[in-house]
Structures are given as structure tokens and as C-alpha cells.
Amino acid sequence: MEGENMIEKEMQFRFKDIFEMEHPEIILKRAQPFIELMMEYQCALMEVETKLNVLNEEFASKYKRNPFESIKSRIKEPLSIINKMKRKGFEMSVESMEKNLFDIAGIRVICSFCDDIYTIAELLTRQDDIILVETKDYIKNPKANGYRSLHLILDIPIFLSTGKKHMKVEVQFRTIAMDFWASLEHKLKYKKDIEHSEEIAEELKDCADVIATMDCKMQEIRNKIEGNL
Ligand code: GTP
Ligand code: MG
């Protein structure tokens, strides 16, 4: 029940512009398949979030610690979906969105330590209703600009009145330090609509490397402390 209300509220918020248009009923009718697809992605997010929350509870109870700093989920904005479809040259239809875009539903999981990322990712993908579609390990292989994160595309079933439906969800795992860099880099990148100059790009890359070194050090400290217990 609570989930239903959440979806309804989310949908009303996301499509509020339509209600302010001249013939909202006509637009809404046409947009219905799209709205339904977004609802299904919202359900898929709830499924993955629940799985993560279950792991968090178990860790808290068994090992007396929470591996997550935060878990945030979002559905891609309709305009971002359309722009991406155009950019990639995909056919403009609801079916094509579902077939071609794997990041309409996204979850960002911020972990305390780097090892936790791999532990949780393994525990999640090992579950028998989840199919791991794709892994991009930007921790072991950082992007040229210094970006680090572990990206997984998961296929997860949701159970609707019409039956079972498989949905794609992108999960990004980062440490607090990786998120610190990515958030600021994102702000710097999108504030000015220009590519970074070589010098700035180099400085940002240096910051990413310093942050990664610190992340490793914190992990080492934790390993030492745990080894001593
Ligand atoms: P798009 O999904 O079209 O962006 O291409 P892709 O699938 O090749 O992207 P990828 O999986 O590498 O990254 C997708 C997401 O990761 C982005 O939407 C961002 O949230 C994040 N990301 C990737 N690279 C960077 C980066 O250099 N800086 C920051 N701040 N975030 C990044
Ligand atoms: Mg992507």
C-alpha cells in the first residue's frame, strides 16, 4: 500500500507539467504507455532497494556494521530519455526505450570501504532472481579523467497483475571518496557548457588519484583494525 502511494506521488510529480497543459486528458492518454513503463521502472527500483536494505539489516545484525553510507535511486527524466534516444539514433518509441536504454532506472550505492563494494555487488548478483547483464569496473580500470565507480546493469523481475516482467536497473557502487570526486567533477562539468581545458582536466585527474590513494589507505587501516580484533 505504501509502495503504491509512493509510485502515485512520484508519477504525479514527474508528469505535473502535463496537468498544466491545455488538454491534459488527451496528452495523458497518449503518454499512458510511457507512464506505465516509468511505473514499472519505479517498481524495479523498489525491488533492488529492498534487496540492498535486506543485506544492510543482515550486516548490522551479524557484523554490527552498516556497509552503506547511502542509497539513492532515480528514474531518468523524460527529457533526458528523449535526448539520449536522439543522441544514440534509436527509434523513438516506448518499446525502443525499454530495449535500448539500460539506465532509465538507476541506483547509486555509496559504501564506506572499497572492499564493501565488491562484497555487496557479489552478494546481490548471486541472488537467483537477478541476471547480471553488464559490468563496468571503473575502479579497477578508472576512466581516463579519473572517474571511479563500479557500474552493474541488472535484470530483475517485477510481478504485475499481468504477470512477471523483466526490467533493467543500473546500479552504481562508489565509496564516499569516489562519490566526492564524481559529484564535484559533475558540477564543474555541467556548470560551464564547455569541455575542460587540458590543464583543468589534468588537475581533476590528479585529485582523483590522491582521493583513490586515500581510499586505499582507509581500507588498509580498516584491515589492520579488523586483523587486530
Ligand atoms: P551514458 O549512459 O550515455 O552516459 O554512456 P555509458 O553507458 O557509456 O556510460 P557509463 O556507464 O560509463 O556511465 C554512465 C553514468 O556514470 C553517467 O550517467 C554518470 O552518472 C556516471 N559517470 C560516468 N562517467 C563519469 C564521469 O566522468 N564523471 C562523473 N561525474 N560521472 C560519470
Ligand atoms: Mg549508461
Q: Which residues contact 133 (CB under 8 A, 6 or more apart)?
A: 102, 153, 154, 155, 168
Classify the C-alpha dihedral 223-141-137-68 as positive or negative: positive
Nearest alpha carbon, ligand 1 atom 29:
182
Residue 209 has pLDDT above 70, yes or no: yes
Residue 119 has pLDDT above 90, yes or no: yes
Nearest alpha carbon, ligand 1 atom 13:
151
pLDDT tens digits, 61-81: 998 888 899 999 999 999 999
Cell of 31: 503518454
Q: Provide the whole-model pTM.
A: 0.89
Nearest alpha carbon, ligand 1 atom 26:
147
Nearest-angstrom CA–CA distance, 191 and 214:
27
Distance in Å from the first CA to the final CA of the chain = 44
Atom of ligand 1 nearest to the CA of 145: 27
Q: Average of pLDDT values for 43-52?
A: 97
Q: Which residues contact 70 (CB under 8 A, 6 or more apart)?
A: 108, 109, 110
Among all bound ligands, the one having the nearest atom to the CA of 179 is 1
Atom of ligand 1 nearest to the CA of 186: 30
Q: Tell me how far apart the 2 most distant CA atoms of the chain are, in Å.
A: 68
Mutational test site, ligand 1, from 74, 77, 103, max ligand atoms within 8 Å of CB: 103
Residue 202 has pLDDT above 70, yes or no: yes
Averaged confidence pLDDT in the chain: 90
Half-sphere exposure of 20 (CA within 13 A, CB side): 6
Cα 144 to ligand 2 centre (Å): 17
Q: What interface predicted TM-score (ipTM) does this complex get?
A: 0.94
Atom of ligand 1 nearest to the CA of 88: 3
Cα 32 to ligand 2 centre (Å): 25
pLDDT tens digits, 144-166: 999 999 999 999 999 999 999 99
> Which residues line the pocket of ligand 1, CB cutoff 6 A?
84, 103, 136, 143, 145, 147, 151, 182, 185-186
pLDDT reported for residue 228: 67
